[in-house]
Structure 1
């Protein structure tokens, strides 16, 4: 009897993984990769990928979607628009934020946010839990329950007046995360330094967008990293440091990892491709480039690329935080706001992968010594799937979800505002030309984007339950501060 055909076979392409690239076909059945190899059987459907790269779909593990800011602004994107944009950029999974604000019940926040995602998402998704109100119920009841249900990462801010968490309650949240096996993710900057600088700049009339970069001293990053790492080491809690922007910050991470501490870190395209000079534009135009931490110097870009190549930084995310350049977003305080009044954030979901592909694969960044494609796959798919315990994601291998982006490595595209599919109305990368672009994107074997057209439907994305512990286990050892022979702190664990 003839063999039962596969649901879909992708033929003639070059499969890229985190360790190799090789000519192979990919067979898909039931939404999963069924086989990878030469001479596979027929498929009910087939895609000709001759001359193309067949890569795992991108995972953007740091995105702000349909989220209200601390200042009360709803960002520009819905789950439908954001995940559409993500798919056109080669992504098949996003992790966004269920954001608690002061006085809000975390359980209700997650329930309400889950409903928005279930209605709108076209690709698969998970949530980080933002904790800004670490009261007794949040720490002792809601966090353990929600982590146990599959929300296995928690985000804390160490700055911003309305959502920052100080050191002592941060330790409370860390302890809850450790006891329930969740990862702590942190926006780490020294709040006092930023607040002090910002107030004095405004008092002296330095209010243009370009002064936003000066208001975040580079030392505010390294200091906060060191303090955060010391807090985490006290109870041996794994942490992920978000959006590293400076050479000094990358060095702090490198030193901590050299000591065997469970420290992970990411950076973003805006820190690899922009500098503070991007904010220096006529009038209020520079407000489009106001985001936090701000971009730094060319030397910092080089240091971050080295840190990625060395493995000090494990992922590159978009930190997509879209605000329109009008009264609903960047200009909500009026047509001529000070830099302190401008909503902080920029769009980046759709441009992230093409920018990185161009730099790492097409241009061949020297830091990666001829392994640009493998490093690209690792940083944007395989590693985030592992770090965040995303089941069945990040690889093209039998048994994994058939989340696949088929790239045309020779296609040249000039990025424009009109090309993007989010609702921000502009892209900070307009005018950049890249080589390499995703043509077809499949989530669990179903086309979401094909031939430049949207095929997916709102609500077809699935929530991903993440359980099973940390990406890296705590050592189980006690630090000197927790040694019961020295004090009674060990009883806390």
Structure 2
């Protein structure tokens, strides 16, 4: 057999197992052809010696905000995807965002295509953010987006005045997406609770960045998550609740999953590693906490972190994404929009943190690859599920992305062997276009030595970025898979044939 690339002497990790050491991976034309021992190579074959290190699938980050109109100082496609491959992510799914005034999705798609075309270092696709779900869009446009363009997921908001939908609009979307096999994502926080608190905080002049965490308490996420699950159960539709930060909200998900409802959960690094104390002033800058403003906010107690980690390990959490929604701190139009005439106003601070580059290394550092088994927070196969396999399946890329098996794209992370990859996260070493990282000074157990996209090395830590902006390809996605539970459930208390009277 003639291979373009052979990777030797590695320890391959899949979503189900850690394979025996020393197996080779043979790739041709950007695809994995076979896995075996002693695969042949020719003069034209690139051979990479993994030196006994772990090999995991290229990361799939299914929640990334790039080139967003509401974040003029944030990352664009060039800098965001450059950062992605440096951190081991080979596929991202970003957001084409509909405004309330947009009566059609087609101009939104065309405009967003212009920003990404020939600008991506990694493979990519989009979700649609729906803020004006008209009957015409749901009836006529979503089918075209799913079948012809391969955009098979939408995101909805239950909060933010300019984006939020009411329950009836959420239901209409759930029914439409279920019929098309599309995945519905939802940002679940109680808008009315949050609005009431913000009014009171501002009335009492509590407007420093730290009060952002006070303004969005866990109960606002808990209530909205339960309501979102109830809407999905009523519609008998799959749903993923994004960036979950509350153990109580995740308990609602867990309960739904035990009743075989197709409810999925996502969490992000900030909710596993950071606490609300980061939003407080530091001795040198009273506004520095603005760097850590995101929604839902960072939680207060280390017990909150532990609760999230339990749900990561026990299978409740389906995907682990970055929610990279960054804005600069010092640039005009960035985080310092929250300084109004020199007075801090947390409600004016742009939401979001950088994290597309650090997502995969942070989680890998909590596996037995980097810490003693008794201290590991999750297994290596679980790491692969969360960072690659599950998001690929959930968003219609199963069979192509997210796994190391014949027929899949040859997307890999080759880590450093044993303890040779230990490093400290520092802003100066990152590749995004943001002027800080919330993980500054954090020591991690490994960093991708090589990132390989469809058989091509695009990141070599010894050399830096090797790929180009034209390496990334648009991914036309299929129907998303239901990874937990199933459809066809009857809501509690509803008669067997009750739906036939109104559907």
Distance 1:480 1:305 in 2: 30
Q: Any gaps of 5 or more consecutive residues in structure 2?
A: none
SS of 1:119 mapped into structure 2: coil
Q: 1:353 aligns with which of 360, 373, 376?
A: 360
SS of 1:184 mapped into structure 2: strand
SS of 2:423 mapped into structure 1: strand
1:278 is matched with which residue? 278
SS of 1:360 mapped into structure 2: coil
2:390 is matched with which residue? 383
Q: 2:290 aligns with which of 282, 287, 292?
A: 287
Greater shift, 403-412 or 282-291, is seen at: 403-412
TM-aligned CA deviation for residue 13 of structure 1: 1.4
1:331 aligns with 2:332: no
TM-aligned CA deviation for residue 363 of structure 1: 2.4
Distance 1:180 1:364 in 2: 45
2:266 is matched with which residue? 266
TM-aligned CA deviation for residue 379 of structure 1: 1.2
1:234 aligns with 2:237: no
Name the CA shift for 1:218/1:49 in 2 (closer, same or farther; >3 Å): same
1:475 is matched with which residue? 487
TM-aligned CA deviation for residue 487 of structure 1: 6.1
Name the CA shift for 1:39/1:277 in 2 (closer, same or farther; >3 Å): same
Distance 1:124 1:77 in 2: 16
Distance 2:492 2:307 in 1: 33
Distance 1:74 1:264 in 2: 31
1:315 aligns with 2:309: no
Distance 1:308 1:184 in 2: 21
1:401 is matched with which residue? 409
Is the Cα contact below 8 Å between 1:66 and 1:75 reproduced in 2?
A: no
Is the Cα contact below 8 Å between 1:242 and 1:265 reproduced in 2?
A: yes
2:4 is matched with which residue? 7
Greater shift, 143-152 or 156-165, is seen at: 143-152
SS of 1:436 mapped into structure 2: coil
The TM-score, its normalising length taken from structure 2, stands at: 0.92
TM-aligned CA deviation for residue 250 of structure 1: 1.2
Name the CA shift for 1:51/1:203 in 2 (closer, same or farther; >3 Å): same
The TM-score, its normalising length taken from structure 1, stands at: 0.94
RMSD: 1.9
Q: Deviations over 1:91-149 (max 9, x none)?
A: 11111111111111321111221232222111111111100111233222222221223
TM-aligned CA deviation for residue 332 of structure 1: 2.7
TM-aligned CA deviation for residue 488 of structure 1: 5.0
TM-aligned CA deviation for residue 481 of structure 1: 7.7
1:421 is matched with which residue? 431
Q: Deviations over 1:7-35 (max 9, x none)?
A: 01111111111222222111110100111
Matched ranges for 1:96-135 at <5 A: 96-104=94-102, 105-135=104-134
Distance 1:177 1:426 in 2: 38
Q: 1:302 aligns with which of 302, 306, 310?
A: 306
Q: Deviations over 1:378-428 (max 9, x none)?
A: 211112112212141111111110001111142111111111100011101
TM-aligned CA deviation for residue 42 of structure 1: 0.7
2:14 is matched with which residue? 17
Name the CA shift for 1:485/1:32 in 2 (closer, same or farther; >3 Å): closer
Q: Deviations over 1:61-113 (max 9, x none)?
A: 111111123xxx32511111101100000111111111111111321111221
Q: 2:442 aligns with which of 415, 432, 443?
A: 432
Is the Cα contact below 8 Å between 1:118 and 1:462 reproduced in 2?
A: no
Q: Any gaps of 5 or more consecutive residues in structure 1?
A: none
SS of 1:308 mapped into structure 2: helix
1:447 is matched with which residue? 457
Name the CA shift for 1:484/1:39 in 2 (closer, same or farther; >3 Å): closer
SS of 1:159 mapped into structure 2: coil
